[in-house]
Amino acid sequence: MKLIYNISLLGLLILTGFSACRKGLLDPQPSDRVSENIFWNTENDALLATNALYTDLDSVNVFTWDALTDIAHTNQNFDTQAFIELGSYDISNAKIYNEWSGAYKGIRAANYFLENIDKVNTANTALINRFKGEAKVLRAYQYIKLAGFFGDVPLVTKTLSIAEAKLITRTPVGEIWDFVDKELSDASALLPATYGAADKGRITSGAAWALKSRADLWAGRYQLAVDAASKVTGYTLYTSYQNLFKYVAENNPEVILNKEFLKDTYRNGIFALLAPYSQKNSQSYYVPAKPLVDAYETAAGKSISDAASGFDPYHPYDNRDPRLRFSVFVDGDVLPSGTVFKPAPTSGSADAVGSTYIASTTGYNIKKYINTEDYANPANSGINIILLRYAEVLLTKAEAKIELNQLDAEVYTAINTVRNSRADVKLPSIPAGLSQDQLRQIVRHERTVELAFEGLHLFDIRRWKTAETVMTGPVYGITYPDASNKLVTVQVVSFNRVFNKSRDYLWPVPQKETDQNSNLKQNPNW
């Protein structure tokens, strides 16, 4: 059973900052919120308040992050996000402000919750502690993201008045990581390892440890990342990568944290956002780019640039890593409508590059989460969005051990499990005896192709310090034979990425924030 988050009266209560005045119970009450006088009394109040916190988790916006990397592209050049790709954005950019404000909205809700939960009249302390654990993890989740985007950010652990908010300063990012470490360690002791069917989707102790391993990897605290990843138990890779992002696999044993949705009740529009234009005028808003497609190995485990790989540029999608066709719509794929995807500019199809400004400008479309069940009503998808899964934990553990130069069997087992343990992904195991640098490149490759379009690659190329190399120059797409059978590679028109390595590894503090609070010092070179 899906966990459906209550976003009615309680949602309004949290989103408005609980602004109801304290009045006598006989005084008229506003109809759009719940008064503090009559809330925080019962276990059900506590449950509803906890459920509302989950609404601040990320969902379809994770795709926007990958579209700011080498593996994808914001399809419409005039979108405010595209300015970040172009390097022509500034501190007033709406995308950056929305990520900042959205994260702090979630933090404020969690702070308020933790300040009030003990008011609930119950002897069931285990239940209340569990709710506290969920809130702590959800708050830490937001801080992990903020640190990855901005570096130093204000560490706020209580609700603030407007006057107090105008005086806060940025906390050094090391202290943010310290807070996250403690928060998640504390939360893990309050949370169960599993839930019953009625509570599927709630945060477990494993989710706390998995998030801690992510945070420690991003912070460069490699031994802590290994230790945390080792405590993530009870999860396993789902048997089918092809079905991993389909309805049939929701809440499968690989999923550690996701944002839950339900058609008609609490829906998302992921199909309309990402599917090819021919699918009821879907938007192709974020599209894959050539570097990602080229990164998938052949079925024999060789790079397509290897002369011995057998790669045929006239049949570029044959005999490739199966994850390519499971993640990306490529020429010849059958679409949810039953028609065939034909993106070449010469194809004459609705999806042909250049046929409309909405069709994919690279000739590729994202396939993850695009389900036939949503074709009838593309804006009414109920598919859950996975935010953390066990494959990431395995690769985190492998990468952290590689950086520690602990090149033992655990490293090989973790990587090979991701490469060949699924029934539909059977790539050859990596050979033994590789050097630290060889293994480093392999695990980075595996993260890129395994976790594509799951919102992690932007943070990866920042911490690897590769963005300055991969985020420059034109954006390329499909290679196709023209009328004379000559191979031509699509290039996105009038688009040239720029990355300033002295500035762009961190986003700026949004102007709306610095205008209100001069204590928020700006990141370098902004």
List the domain range (segments joined by +) for residue 38.
9-59+82-265
Backbone angles phi, psi at 477, to 5 degrees: -130, -135
The tally of domains found in the chain comes to 1
- Which two structure tokens, joined as six digits, stand for 132? 């506290």
- Which two structure tokens, joined as six digits, stand for 131? 């709710």
Residue 320 maps to a domain = no
- Residue 396 · residue 464 · CB < 8 Å: no
For residue 1, pLDDT beyond 50: no
Average of per-residue pLDDT values in the chain: 94
Cβ count near 512 (within 10 Å): 15
Structure letter (DSSP) for residue 81: T
Residue 39 maps to a domain = yes
Residue 72 maps to a domain = no
How far, in Å, CA of 376 to CA of 361, rounded?
25
pLDDT tens column, 24-62: 434 455 566 666 767 999 999 999 999 999 999 999 999
pLDDT tens column, 147-185: 999 999 999 999 999 999 999 999 999 999 999 999 999
- In sequence order, the β-bridge partners of residue 120 are none
**300 confidence band (pLDDT: 50, 70, 90):** very high
How many Å from the N-terminal Cα to the C-terminal Cα in the chain?
A: 47
Beta-strand ranges (E) seen in 317-448 are 328-329, 365-366, 385-389
**494 confidence band (pLDDT: 50, 70, 90):** very high
Cβ contacts of 136 within 8 Å, gap of 6 or more: 110, 114, 183, 184, 186, 187, 190, 208
For residue 307, pLDDT beyond 60: yes
For residue 428, pLDDT beyond 60: yes
Q: What is the CATH classification number for the domain harbouring 228?
A: 1.25.40.390
Residue 9 confidence (pLDDT): 33
pLDDT tens column, 257-285: 999 999 999 999 999 999 999 999 999 99
In 3D space, the residue among 173, 62, 17, 3 whose CA is nearest the CA of residue 459 turns out to be 62
Residue 366 maps to a domain = no
pLDDT tens column, 114-145: 999 999 999 999 999 999 999 999 999 999 99
Residue 412 maps to a domain = no
Residue 41 maps to a domain = yes
How far, in Å, CA of 298 to CA of 123, rounded?
59
Residue 23 confidence (pLDDT): 41
Q: What average pLDDT score do residues 194-201 get?
A: 94
Structure letter (DSSP) for residue 33: S
Residue 4 confidence (pLDDT): 44
Residue 32 confidence (pLDDT): 60
How far, in Å, CA of 54 to CA of 461, rounded?
28
Radius of gyration of the chain (CA): 24
For residue 255, pLDDT beyond 70: yes
Segment holding 490, helix H or strand E = strand 487-497
In 3D space, the residue among 201, 188, 196 whose CA is nearest the CA of residue 5 turns out to be 201
pLDDT tens column, 81-118: 999 999 999 999 999 999 999 999 999 999 999 999 99
Amino acid at the residue 511: Q
- Residue 74 · residue 85 · CB < 8 Å: yes
pTM for the full predicted model? 0.93
**2 confidence band (pLDDT: 50, 70, 90):** very low
Residue 365 maps to a domain = no
Mutual orientation of helices 205-218 and 125-150 as an angle, nearest 10°? Answer: 20
Residue 105 maps to a domain = yes
7/390: higher pLDDT = 390
